[in-house]
Structure 1
Amino acid sequence: MSGHLPTTDAPAYRGRFAPSPTGDLHAGSLLAAFGSWLLARRHGGEWLVRIEDLDPPREVPGAAQRQLDALTAFGFVSDLPVVRQSQRHGLYEAALQRLLDQDKAFVCHCSRSDLAAAGGVHRRCVAHGPRAGHAAPQAAVRLRVADGAAVEFDDALLGRQRQDVAREVGDFVLRRADGHWAYQLAVVVDDAEQRITDVVRGADLLDSTPRQILLQRALDLPTPRYAHLPLLLDAHGRKLSKSEAAHPLNPADPLPALRAAWAALGQTPDTLVAVETVTQLLRAARDSFNPAQIPQAAPGLAAMHNDPDPNAV
């Protein structure tokens, strides 16, 4: 890839579902897939699937294919060929090099322990050289976030959001010290290259959105519209994907899980009672879906706890 990523001739509406192959699909991921598919279909748009397989230590062998098979069983088939991030390293490398060449990114040897006194927020390098005994490349690459850099955006479901990225997040990681690409860089590059107009995903990623918008601006890329769906939580208030209650979906019996996801999206359960096949259910759901009934996904960025960057070092 050279120069700017393709940004012209964008479709009127193109959404996507982008699971990570860290396990089989569960009810929480089905809700995100269903919600993004419904919003795409309501707008007469396209719906794509992207496998975000850039973190080998966390990936489960065979999970990506099982996820795709499960999506097919539940009636969700990508309108374009499925993209895998593991096959797109050249795109990420080109984008990172552009940022380095323009002094918008920099090499950083700081570890989490180095940044502990600042609450994990990087505002200046406190490490003065490579970490002893650390495997190559020994350093992360971070985006240079200007003092006072704040981002505001309108979430289609949650309304106006604001985050002071400099103060709350700091200079965030684009490539990790272990050489793996950070989520923030990969997702921004992929959304632009795939001409995604609408990002519909779980509210656990709301906190990442301002970082992605800053990065889009640094790369001169368009900013898609955003909508963050409610999360399914267990009895202890934990995100379902991090809970023992996150049992894999049963592709052999898709209707009960689809009805449950429909209800979790705030839609009228009676609409889907009489359907007998996945095709009938999706047709009925598409025809009666009302986005205004989707419950609030989260209280907003101001009330969210900003965890340390999972891709930090």
Structure 2
Amino acid sequence: MADPTHPTDPAGDSADSVAQLLDERARLLAIGYRMLGSRAEAEDAVQETYVRWYRLTEDEQAGIRNPAAWLTTAMTRVCLNVLDSARHRRESYVGEWLPEPLAAGSVLLGPGAPAADPADQAALADEVTMALMVVLDALTPGERVALVLHDVFGYRFDEIAEMVGRTPQAVRKLASTARKHVEDERRRASTPVQQRQVVESFVEACLTGDVATLVGRLDPSAVATSDGGGRVRAALRPVVGADRVARFLVGALRKSTDLVASLEDGGDETRLVLRRGGVVAAVATFRVRNGLVSNIWLTLNPDKLGTWLEQETSGT
């Protein structure tokens, strides 16, 4: 991929050039979501990236050989700034913060690209699971950026190094460290078929209110994490332990008799989608290991359910 700052022939201000720039938006959104775990933050980062482009003079724009690569560089730097400040912003977040689950077919999943070196490529599918997004969220900003740009979008380490102001060797090391965490998640994860079977059985026990059976479907140290963001009522701290998680879930469903539940597959995971009056009110995602549910991530914050709401509004 070309050096994003090396000047060559003028890009001009033609309609084609503008269209090509705007065509990069879906790819930038896909990068931003994987880096930030939030559609709103990804969209803000894309907007800031384009603002930086249009702040350039016409001569500066014309001197950029590869505008798409320039946009990626700018987007990466914006995302790094967001990641660096995320810890402070989340201190004021009400309750637990979870990455945003995406409905199947969301544009934020975006086009991926194989890594330059297939031997280095992690198993980061285009449609990422919540379990993988949680792993990415635990990485340092540098690790996350290096892994996402190299393993998902195929940028070389020297290109990433120029974007983030590090040496290629340092970026390679960051990606390698991050990849170990991702590969550990992939190695321990169930297959999509196994997950569907376990989740179906788990959800059936939830809906029937059978606590004893539900406990048997849970890992003894299972954790349920809810994200209401202060917008709706949700547990402010994770619920830990099979018995406590089972009673928490059964109790929550008994209080919400107007919810309609359905299982929906997206990528490599099965999600429990809860609707109230035909509108998505919550999405539960799961980590399944050794035939048991070890983590439940319950997203109730309506700001993080936008891709489902948009699909239903558009009738898709």
Q: TM-score range by the shorter chain?
A: under 0.3
More helix by share: 2
Q: What is the TM-score with the length of structure 2 in the denominator?
A: 0.25
Indicate the structure whose relative CO is greater, using CA pairs within 8 Å and at least 6 residues apart. Answer: 1
Larger Rg: 2
